[in-house]
Chain A
Amino acid sequence: MKSKLAIIGIFFIAGLLFAAVFSYFTFEPEEAIEEPLAEQEVRLYFLNEKQYHLQEVSRVVPETEHLSGRIEQIVEELKVAPEEERLSTLLPEDLELRSVFFEADVIYIDFNEALIGAAEGSSGEMIFLYSIVNSLLANAPEDYKLVKFLVNGETVKTIGPYGEESGHISVEYPLGPRWKLVGSS
């Protein structure tokens, strides 16, 4: 009888130990089992190297509370090249968005100095600038129609690397979207 009780006791203790170890490895903090963050789909424009136009890519990202957060998110997403081989990112890794603000129908995006020289040539600058402009305006409320580039808080004439007037496209004024640069495949 005693031995039976001892065996039951051993199984009982072993069961407790097993349960403790199992629960230790399978325990999840309370936060993680709360409701997952709401997600949203954003439309991003990347370079199609073969066709040399912009191509739309949809990506699901966590929802943000404010528009400025969504814009920061889009800029970061634009740095991540899509899996599709012929699509590539146009944004240099060291390009940092310093701040975002809004005035009337214009989204102001203030980058660090890596914006200067980030693209060259008429076509290169065009496809680079409008990949950002199109991506921001495609995901912002319709009230916003234009995007204004700043470098360290200042207006620059162009993004040319050899001085403000060595580039091609004027960024002195806000830019509207260029949907004609977008191809299907």
Chain B
Amino acid sequence: MKKFTTGLILILFACMIFFPQAARSASLNLVDADGSLLGEIPTLRREGSLLLDLYNFFRALDFSVSWNEKTRRLEVEEEGTTFRFTPRSEHVLAGDNNLYLTGSPLVRSGKMYLAASTTAGLLNRHTKHSVIYNPDRQQMQLGVPREAEAADEDPIGRFLEDIPEVAGDEMLVVIDPGHGGRDPGAIGPGGLMEKEVILNMSLRLKKHIEDNYPRMKVILTREEDVFIPLQDRTRMANQNEADVFISIHANSGPSARATGFEIFTLSAEASDPSAQERADIENSVLRYEGYDSEELSDVAWILGQLRASVHTMESQAFSEMILSEMEAAITLSNRGMKQAPFFVLKDAMMPAVLFEAGFLSNPREEQRLQSDSYQKTVVEALGTALDKYMKQRFLK
């Protein structure tokens, strides 16, 4: 009897200790700036991440939330902007824009869940709300000024830690189909739109890589006809620590005679007329990453400069590989590599190129660009160039 009593006491004691932990794993506390509870959000745990119930989370924040049965999307609206979440898709439509999440929503028992850290990032970057997610306390706190979050941390230390390691046996490629949505890009004399032909080519390239190069992972900046601001395209690549960024376009010029494929890299000289301007560009990248320019010391600035110059050289080497593969594969003239301050490349924190697959303004090339055989040849040549680049850079 005595043993039974002792055992019972131990069990009760254990319950007292572990019950709060058990309760915490079942919900996330959403609190306001002064710590008062706004709601307990149901959660799930998957592979070490805490996922939260999006419907209840956004309701607790006073967003308007509804499930659109027709489009199979969860629609969350605040002050005129509607965010549309799709099950198992990293893309979130926000009005006209396509945002890219670092994880995709999961549906369980009729509820849509998303990682708490991803949700916090989405709120901080794309809404007026600022939140801090504390995974240890399983708490999301609202309304705390963003400066306070990082006040005590060492900015240079964070900067150094954030430099992606150039190692491993996999390469992450971000493919950016140019234009989209309200921006059709160039339109050929026959009516072919750049945004359509390039999306098609990019989707084929993704599939070609996935089928043939298992060591490469691919992210597309858009998989449908949506407008994405140029800076968000490189932001996706930066957030995912991509190894290489390739923006695919169809060219246009004032003369219908213009012909050929061409590749562009960011020019240090043109976009860098003065040291101050370079500093502005580098700092704008770092500001996006959560660093204030005031926090940056000369050391961090120099590191940024070095990294940019290494990326410039790598971009040129990659460009040469693409031109060489294209020249071997197709009869179109090789217009070579040029440098200019391309907007879509300027914030990339990795080797980045803009490839022009031919001139839509040239009637003959417009026909070529939409032909299945031409697209197949271009896609295969790009795949081979990416494979060579990966082997040279990562698998020595």
- Interface of B (DSSP majority class): loop
Q: Are A49 and B179 in contact (CB under 8 A)?
A: no
Query: How long is the Cα–Cα vector from A121 to B264 in the complex, in angstroms?
Result: 12
Q: Are A170 and B252 in contact (CB under 8 A)?
A: no
Q: Are A120 and B252 in contact (CB under 8 A)?
A: yes
Q: Are A162 and B182 in contact (CB under 8 A)?
A: yes
Known: A145-B273, A160-B183. A122 touches B343 (CB 8 A): no
Q: Are B182 and A178 in contact (CB under 8 A)?
A: no
Q: Check B119 for interface membership: any CB of A closer than 8 A.
A: no
Query: How long is the Cα–Cα vector from A175 to B249 in the complex, in angstroms?
Result: 23
Q: Check A124 for interface membership: any CB of B closer than 8 A.
A: yes
Known: A173-B341, A176-B270, A178-B270. A166 touches B254 (CB 8 A): no
The 0/1 profile, CB within 8 Å of A marked 1, for residues 334-346 of chain B is 0100101111101
Residue of B nearest to A177 (CB): B270
Residue of B nearest to A157 (CB): B343
Contacts of A175 in B (CB 8 A): 270, 273, 341
Q: Check B231 for interface membership: any CB of A closer than 8 A.
A: yes
Residue of A nearest to B181 (CB): A162
Interface residues of B in 327-358 (CB under 8 A from A): 335, 338, 340-344, 346, 354, 356
Query: How long is the Cα–Cα vector from A81 to B268 in the complex, in angstroms?
Result: 33
Known: A122-B262, A123-B252. A158 touches B343 (CB 8 A): yes
Q: Check A47 for interface membership: any CB of B closer than 8 A.
A: yes
Q: How far is the CB of A63 from chain B (nearest CB, A)?
A: 29
CB within 8 Å: A-B pair count: 106
Query: How long is the Cα–Cα vector from A158 to B341 in the complex, in angstroms?
Result: 10
Known: A120-B186, A165-B343, A176-B270. A128 touches B254 (CB 8 A): yes
Task: Report how many residues on chain B are interfacial, defined by Cβ distance under 8 Å.
Answer: 40
Q: Are B257 and A122 in contact (CB under 8 A)?
A: no
The 0/1 profile, CB within 8 Å of A marked 1, for residues 252-275 of chain B is 111101100010100001110100
Q: Check A126 for interface membership: any CB of B closer than 8 A.
A: yes
* From B183, B258, B341, residue with most partner A Cβ within 10 Å: B341
Q: Are B271 and A173 in contact (CB under 8 A)?
A: yes
Known: A52-B258, A169-B340, A176-B273. A122 touches B251 (CB 8 A): yes
Q: Are A170 and B343 in contact (CB under 8 A)?
A: yes
Q: Are B257 and A49 in contact (CB under 8 A)?
A: yes
Q: Are A170 and B254 in contact (CB under 8 A)?
A: no
Q: Are B255 and A178 in contact (CB under 8 A)?
A: no
* Of the residues B185, B230, B253, contact of A165 by C-beta under 8 Å: B230
Q: Check B87 for interface membership: any CB of A closer than 8 A.
A: no
Query: How long is the Cα–Cα vector from A175 to B273 in the complex, in angstroms?
Result: 7
Q: Check B43 for interface membership: any CB of A closer than 8 A.
A: no
Q: Are A170 and B182 in contact (CB under 8 A)?
A: no
Query: How long is the Cα–Cα vector from A160 to B195 in the complex, in angstroms?
Result: 14
Query: How long is the Cα–Cα vector from A168 to B343 in the complex, in angstroms?
Result: 6
Q: Check B27 for interface membership: any CB of A closer than 8 A.
A: no
Q: Check A132 for interface membership: any CB of B closer than 8 A.
A: no
Q: Are A170 and B262 in contact (CB under 8 A)?
A: no
Q: Are A167 and B343 in contact (CB under 8 A)?
A: yes
Interface residues of B in 196-215 (CB under 8 A from A): none
* Of the residues B183, B186, B346, contact of A170 by C-beta under 8 Å: B346
Q: How far is the CB of B358 from chain A (nearest CB, A)?
A: 11
Query: How long is the Cα–Cα vector from A126 to B341 in the complex, in angstroms?
Result: 10
Chain A residues with CB under 8 Å of chain B are 47, 49-50, 52, 88, 90, 119-124, 126-128, 145-146, 157-158, 160, 162-163, 165-170, 172-176, 178, 180
Q: A122-B264, A122-B340 are in contact. List 12 more A-B contacts (CB 8 A).
A: A52-B257, A52-B258, A122-B342, A124-B361, A162-B184, A163-B227, A165-B343, A168-B249, A169-B341, A170-B271, A170-B341, A174-B273
Between-chain CB contacts (< 8 Å), 29 pairs = A47-B254, A52-B253, A52-B255, A120-B185, A120-B252, A121-B186, A121-B249, A121-B253, A121-B359, A121-B360, A121-B361, A122-B249, A122-B340, A122-B356, A124-B251, A124-B253, A157-B343, A158-B230, A162-B182, A163-B183, A165-B231, A166-B179, A168-B342, A170-B342, A170-B343, A174-B273, A175-B273, A178-B340, A180-B338
Which 8 pairs of residues, A with B, have the shortest CB-CB distance?
A121-B252, A162-B183, A166-B183, A170-B343, A49-B255, A124-B253, A165-B230, A170-B341
